Amino acid sequence: MTETRAEVLLPTSDLRKDLPFFTRVLGMRMDMIYPADDPAVAVFSGHGLRVRLDQGAKAAPAHLRILTDAPDAVAGGERRLTAPGGTTVEIDELNPPLVLPPTEHAFVVRRLADQAPWVIGRAGMSYRDLVPTRLGGAIIASHIRVPDGKVPDMVHFHKVGFQLIFCVNGWVDVLYEDQGGLRRIHAGDCFIQPPRIRHRVVEAGDDIEVVEIGVPAEHITEIDHDMDLPTPDFRPDREWDGQRFVHSLARDGVWQDFRLKGYICRDTTIADNTRGVAGVQVVRRGQGDPQPARHDSDILFGFVMAGAMTLSGEGKDPFRLSRGDAFVIPPGMVTTWADPTDDFELLEVALPGHFATTPV
């Protein structure tokens, strides 16, 4: 059997003084040292890493990061150190707490006709940014296509506060941890992926389009090399950070009056299953004439899936919005959703899930 090892080469200007630093201060194990009479090379292992200190290496000083769930227990609690031989060392949290940046409120309109670029992102999928400002890092909203229906995906999870996958067109198959076998969504259906739930996209139709919402905008995706999906247990009531997995089907939706006059909606149950973190509704034209209103939600995002309507905001020129267009309305701003077509359909995402709307 062939044995293979990988190690990181670190130059050092003083190996003799580095020996106690790497063993006593950093808590690593020395595995090799030579030559015996005047050591110039030493190999250490620890913290999932193997490093070779070489006094003769011709390279710039290195930077070493040690991640741990107990940073105060390493190096006497120091977070920044410099080894005698020049290596700088950073001690940091292995699983730092999720930071939700404050929302930088703004009125945003993003139209498909404006030719925003599609870029190739994770797993070869094409992404179009629906909120370029990202409201100061508070949210990312992406319009996603899969060029050929095949997704070279791996089991992974997201360190995120909230994440929605809403199918606008076509279909997509996904496997989720503890949620049984293959799950498929069609146009009008959606998933919410609770924080850290393991999942893998398996396949998508050639015409697939989804809208993905993530909070905060910058969050980490980690690959889980040890888990196989599907998992053997079916646990529909399991929670991840207080949130349950949701597979909402359009065909099961119940239509009711929307928060704005002149419209109806179907709820996806996401507000209840996230304990109010976020709410997701599908909106259509109803009875009566629309009227101006304001809301107090921190983030209110809309994406037009069919038809058209005119969005008018105080102090802004009106926008005629149609399929593929998106917008964000800041709290307190008076707006009117006017002149909806008979086939108008919109995805609305609100954070938090419960908020007040006041007619004006």
Q: What is the dihedral of CA 302, 189, 177, 216, to 10 degrees?
A: 0
Asked if the bond preceding 236 is cis, omega within 30° of 0, the reply is no
Kindly report the CATH number that applies to the domain delimited by 8-93: 3.10.180.10
pLDDT of residue 1: 82
Measured from the Cβ of residue 156, the count of other Cβ atoms closer than 10 Å reads 17
pLDDT of residue 199: 97
Report the candidate in 210, 192, 214 with the shortest Cα–Cα distance to residue 324. 210
CA separation for the pair 94, 148 (Å, rounded): 37
CA separation for the pair 89, 63 (Å, rounded): 6
pLDDT of residue 293: 97
CA separation for the pair 193, 160 (Å, rounded): 9
Quick one: tokens of 48? Answer: 């999932």
Quick one: tokens of 58? Answer: 């011709």
Residues carrying CATH 2.60.120.10, the chain: 108-249, 252-359
Residue type (1 letter), 173: D
Quick one: how far is CA 31 from the chain centroid?
Answer: 40
pLDDT of residue 149: 60
The answer to whether residues 199 and 158 touch, using CB atoms and an 8 Å cutoff, is no
Give the list of residues 6+ apart from residue 30 with CB closer than 8 angstroms, or none.
19, 22, 23, 42, 43, 44
Q: May I ask the CATH class of domain 252-359?
A: mainly beta
pLDDT in tens, the chain (360 residues): 889 989 999 999 999 999 999 999 999 999 999 999 999 999 999 999 999 999 999 989 999 999 999 999 999 999 999 999 999 999 999 988 898 999 999 999 999 888 767 776 665 668 899 999 999 999 999 998 876 666 678 999 999 999 999 999 999 999 999 999 999 999 999 999 999 999 999 888 888 999 999 999 999 999 999 999 999 999 999 999 999 999 999 999 999 999 999 999 999 999 999 999 999 999 999 999 999 999 999 999 999 999 999 999 988 999 999 999 999 999 999 999 999 999 999 999 999 999 999 999
CA separation for the pair 30, 11 (Å, rounded): 16
Residues carrying CATH 3.10.180.10, the chain: 8-93
pLDDT of residue 113: 84
CA separation for the pair 199, 165 (Å, rounded): 12
Kindly report the CATH number that applies to the domain delimited by 108-249: 2.60.120.10
